[in-house]
Amino acid sequence: MGVVIAIDGPSGSGKSTVARAVAQELALAVLDTGAMYRAVTLAVLDANAALDDERACGAIARACVISVEDGVTLLDGRDVSAEIRGPLVTGAVSIVARHPAVREILVVAQRAWVARHGGGVVEGRDIGTVVFPDATVKVFLEASDDERARRRHRDELQAARMVAVEDVKAALERRDAIDLGRPVSPLRAADDAIRIDTTHLDVATVVAEVVSRVQAAESR
């Protein structure tokens, strides 16, 4: 299977930025598993299915053809990379992602992706605990609520979506509650994960720490 680096953490902790940089540093492929869940959520919304209907959401997930490669997400051959980052999907993804039927299907897809690529950097919320419990290195990123809200607010402004930072923070709190409280694959750090608080760290420092851990693991 090759080297697998699992990077987990809540929204705004720096997962995507760190995962991409680590992958580039180590010449590995990178998978944003959140993009897969967002793509399924978009398909559920497009089908006008009820978000809390597990059977319907599972059937839609099973029927979807999702590709996540080089930062581009395709849903049934359509580029939805920008659409899945919009407010409708962002507000619904945690509801769809909590369904065991959806998670079962996407975990299989995530493992298949890693098998095809011979390893990689995989970021999400249950990578080190469920998807790849035997990953070469497991990392759990965290940051203060205020810092996470500031980062997400910046992302929204860059996407030309005008929203108050207080609203962003409230949305993060709602999503945290769902992710932490779901009965299947809740957001949590693996017992053997390296926990890094990114609140006051720059990206280069975090990346250097992760890369050094990977190199140490490979040398053992």
Burial of 38 (0-12, 13-18, 19+ CB in 10 A): buried
- Residues 53/54/59/61 CA torsion (nearest 10 deg): 110
What digits encode the pLDDT tens for the residues 88-129?
A: 999 899 999 999 999 999 999 999 999 999 999 999 999 999
CB atoms within 10 A of CB 151: 19
pLDDT of residue 79: 98
Task: Give the mean pLDDT of the chain.
Answer: 93
Q: What is the pTM of this model?
A: 0.92
CATH superfamily of 1-29+120-215: P-loop containing nucleotide triphosphate hydrolases (3.40.50.300)
Residues of the chain with CATH 3.40.50.300: 1-29+120-215, 33-117
CA angle 82, 85, 90 (to 5 degrees): 155
33-117, superfamily in CATH? Answer: P-loop containing nucleotide triphosphate hydrolases (3.40.50.300)
